Amino acid sequence: MPLGGLPTQREYEMNNENGYSVTYVAERLVSATAEIMRTAKTEEDLRIGFEKALDPRMRELGVRPEPRYEQNVLRSVFRGRPDAVHGQLVIEYESPRSFRKAKAVRHAFDQTVDYLIAEAHRDKADPIASLCRMLGVGIDGEKIFFVRYSPPGVRAKAVDKDSFVLQGPHVFNVYSARTLLMNLRALTRLPLTADWLAQRFGPRSRIAPLLVSACCDALKNWQNQRVSVFYNEWKRLFGIVYGESFTKMQEIEANSLRTLYGVGADVSFQELLFSVHTFFALLIKLIAAELVQLHDNPMSSSFCDQLTHAKDEDFVRLLEDIENGGIFAKRGIQNFLEGDFLRGYLDAFSSAPERCYAGDDAGTC
């Protein structure tokens, strides 16, 4: 059975828009694993082979995997490193057929518990809450087990190692493979914590400097009257808060902020702050849209994934729907967005050059 209140088999298969049932994908994974086990001699053989087989199976279920391998996790506290981390799911691989011995199962279980605790401590704000959302998996190619944390009380402030629950080992067949796939589908999304958000979308991430500099560029160079109106209204309301004039120290801080986001000195402090404000406002709206869609259907495809694969006109239409509050209004959430002057980037689309290539002169893009 699925763990942790996940959808039933019927619910999952009804909502898999890629055309593959989870049972069919599970059968293919079991078949591939059997082939791997014909030649696998070591834990590493199993790990490499299984991860290679798992990748296309997850894609068939609409998941774009981004696993981490052999990452350091609080090595001063816990020894070792997890073999594979898929979002909020940790996999511990063991030597082929080693789970035939109870001692090996216990060893793998203890290691998986340590890895789960270490991973949960990445969330410095509330590691116990993160731990409750995670799942540990142990596999030797022939059998598989699952590990969940069941805290002794809602107010527990420290991790209790005796509160980890072992389910299995089970024979690795279509039923246990289906449980694995359904949990992977639900848990591969990264946890919505401050640390993960800062890592993915903070000023030192890859995304933030690109988007903020694009907003600055649009504001300065893609002349659009509505964008100017939005910006001037923002300055009127927030200018006093952020400061209309600069002391020497404020200018030093402004230069540091420009360096952090990779924008030029020709961008004023107010223009930069408006662009940063626009970026983070859009990020919050996208997160809200993602959560609303997942609340309706936990197994549906990601809203942001739809944006990624949309054609240009559909991409703008989806963003307009968010800014107009349509995606929220359809679910009975009224007045979530109202008169937002941080939506000016939409008007900048119509002002962008029709053709802009990396080799073009700077003045044309």
SS (H, E, C) 37-67: HCCCCCHHHHHHHHHHHHHHHHHHCCCCCCC
Nearest to 292 by CA among 337, 342, 344: 337
CA–CA gap between residue 315 and residue 94 (Å, rounded): 45
CA–CA gap between residue 292 and residue 255 (Å, rounded): 38
Contact 177/30 with Cβ under 8 angstroms?
Answer: yes
- Alpha-helical regions (H) of 222-311: 225-242, 248-261, 269-296, 303-309
Sign of the torsion formed by the C-alpha atoms of 243, 246, 247 and 251: positive
Tell which wins on pLDDT, 315 or 298. 315
Q: From the DSSP assignment, how many helices (H) and strands (E) are in the chain? A: 15, 5
For 3, the token pair is 């763990």
Tell which wins on pLDDT, 207 or 307. 207
What tens digit of pLDDT does each residue of 161-193 get?
888 999 999 999 999 999 998 888 777 666 666
Instruction: For the chain, give the longest Cα–Cα distance.
Output: 73
What tens digit of pLDDT does each residue of 218-253 get?
777 766 677 777 788 777 777 666 655 545 556 777
Beta-bridged to residue 68, according to DSSP, are 85
Contact 241/270 with Cβ under 8 angstroms?
Answer: no
Please name the helix (run of DSSP H) or strand (run of DSSP E) that holds residue 174, with its range, or none: helix 174-187
CA–CA gap between residue 218 and residue 365 (Å, rounded): 10
Is pLDDT above 50 for 76?
Answer: no
- According to the model, what pLDDT value does residue 265 have? 79
Q: Does residue 169 have a cis peptide bond before it, meaning omega lies within 30 degrees of 0?
A: yes
